[in-house]
């Protein structure tokens, strides 16, 4: 009981620190981006406006004024706005939450929901790490995640990214619980995946991870995880179909619509776009984003290096598969995003940093920081 109260107090402290770290964002004027205005339009639709009126109000009204001035060919073009609206049809969870909050928060509702997603991400990372690590290790890595610039920066806009990371982390935590404690935890895995499918397009990362887990471990739980991930994601994809050819063609055409592009022309431009993205990311890191790069690269490196051979388990196989699928997700639409798309890698990187911190604790003889959890089979499991 005492440990439970201490854990809850640490979680409350982490939540408070996360909120305090966003105090400037909560106080300053809302910073609108094109993506944010599309979510604002969806929120207006939930409050009763038809789609065209909602898009007009969001982009042609006061919120879009600054964007129209600096980007008249895109944000200032009704034709561009109407064409791009199709790519946001599926992401309804955050706009719906903002619509419900609007009577209290007004025009800040979307931003408040995004900041809430940031706090939820920190807590989800903390509880994910507690499944494997000691309380001090989980707390330190969660605190480092609060200081992760890529996460806090994008959570400071009225976007869906923070909730995407929070729900992905929650799904992974439920997946690990299912692998360690029984199939009943698959319900949480499936529920998180359903919510994620209506938030971001990253649910495919977890579907691919579950598929790899099933192929390599062939257990009843892994079969349930794969089956429920498909059942949670496929209906959403079918109901809200995403025109991937049109999306890729536009992203490879300087964000301008190119509806006549074929898959052949997309493929021809794709390698060059990946090179451009990597060069832009490198310049971004040299320009000051080294802390975000270190968190992601060091964490993922440690995840793979410290879970080789006898140190592997079903849980770490799930996480490593999710890391590989996450990397594929990043390069699927090769555009520079200031590490926004790379946020899909945060839960796996956090786990890797936990492994590294635990290894350091063992080397310097700090046993209170080292925990050897026992899996459902009774054997120690990494």
Contacts of 31 (CB under 8 A, 6+ apart): 156, 157
Q: 3-class DSSP state for residue 288?
A: coil
Segment 204-221 shows an average pLDDT of: 94
Question: Per-residue b/e over 236-266, b at no fewer than 16 CB within 10 Å?
Answer: beeeeeeeeebbbbbbbeeeebbeebeeeeb
Place of tokens 């691919």: 208
Band (361; pLDDT cuts 50, 70, 90): confident
Q: What pLDDT digit, counting tens, does each position of 110-137 carry?
A: 999 999 999 999 999 999 999 999 999 9
User: Residue 83 and residue 89: Cα distance in Å, rounded?
Assistant: 12
Give the tokens for residue 83: 């064409």
The answer to whether 22 touches 152, Cβ cutoff 8 Å, is yes
User: How does residue 369 score in pLDDT terms, banded at 50, 70 and 90?
Assistant: low
Taking residues 94-111, report their average pLDDT.
95
The domains of the chain are located at: 2-30+90-369
For 270-326, the pLDDT digits (tens) are 999 999 999 999 999 999 899 999 999 999 999 999 998 755 789 999 999 999 999
Pure H helices in the chain = 2-21, 23-27, 34-46, 51-60, 65-70, 78-84, 93-105, 109-130, 135-146, 149-155, 161-181, 186-197, 203-217, 220-239, 244-251, 263-286, 290-305, 314-332, 346-363
% the chain with pLDDT above 90: 77
pLDDT(382) > 80 = no
Q: Report in angstroms the alpha-carbon separations of 66 from 16, 32, 44, 115, 337.
A: 33, 9, 20, 23, 20
Question: What is the Cα–Cα distance from 173 to 125, expressed in whole angstroms?
Answer: 9
Three-class secondary structure of residue 47 per DSSP: coil
Percentage with pLDDT > 70 across the chain: 94
Residue in 35, 127, 130, 138 with CA at minimum distance from that of residue 88: 35
Give me Rg for the CA atoms of the chain: 21
């Amino acid at each position: 009981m005492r440990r439970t109260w201490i854990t809850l107090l640490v979680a409350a402290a982490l939540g408070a620190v996360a909120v305090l770290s966003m105090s400037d964002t909560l106080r300053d004027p809302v910073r609108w981006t094109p993506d944010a205005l599309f979510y604002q339009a969806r929120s207006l639709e939930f409050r009763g406006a038809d789609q065209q009126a909602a898009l007009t109000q969001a982009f042609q009204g006061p919120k879009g004024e600054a964007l129209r001035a600096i980007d008249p060919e895109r944000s200032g073009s009704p034709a561009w706005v109407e064409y791009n609206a199709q790519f946001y049809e599926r992401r309804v969870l955050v706009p719906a939450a903002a619509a419900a909050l609007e009577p209290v928060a007004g025009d800040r509702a979307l931003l408040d929901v995004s900041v809430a997603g940031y706090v939820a991400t920190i807590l989800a990372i903390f509880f994910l790490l507690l499944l494997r690590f000691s309380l001090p290790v989980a707390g330190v890595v969660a605190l480092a995640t609060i200081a992760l610039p890529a996460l806090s920066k994008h959570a400071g806009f009225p976007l869906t990214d923070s909730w995407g990371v929070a729900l992905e982390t929650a799904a992974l935590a439920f997946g690990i619980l299912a692998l360690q404690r029984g199939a009943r935890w698959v319900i949480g895995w499936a529920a998180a995946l359903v919510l994620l499918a209506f938030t971001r397009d990253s649910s495919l990362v977890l579907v691919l991870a579950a598929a790899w887990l099933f192929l390599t471990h062939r257990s009843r739980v892994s079969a349930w995880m794969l089956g429920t991930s498909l059942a949670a994601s496929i209906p959403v994809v079918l109901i809200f179909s995403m025109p991937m050819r049109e999306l890729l063609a536009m992203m490879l055409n300087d964000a301008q619509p190119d509806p006549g592009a074929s898959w052949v022309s997309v493929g021809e431009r794709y390698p060059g776009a990946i090179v451009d993205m990597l060069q832009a990311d490198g310049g971004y890191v040299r320009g000051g984003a080294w802390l975000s790069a270190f968190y992601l690269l060091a964490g993922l490196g440690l995840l793979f290096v410290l879970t080789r051979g006898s140190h592997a388990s079903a849980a770490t196989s799930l996480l490593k598969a999710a890391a590989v699928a996450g990397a594929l997700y990043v390069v699927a639409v090769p555009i520079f995003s200031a590490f926004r798309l790379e946020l899909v890698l945060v839960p796996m990187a956090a786990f890797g940093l936990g492994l590294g911190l635990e290894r350091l604790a063992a080397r310097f003889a700090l046993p209170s920081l080292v925990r050897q959890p026992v899996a459902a089979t009774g054997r120690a499991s990494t």
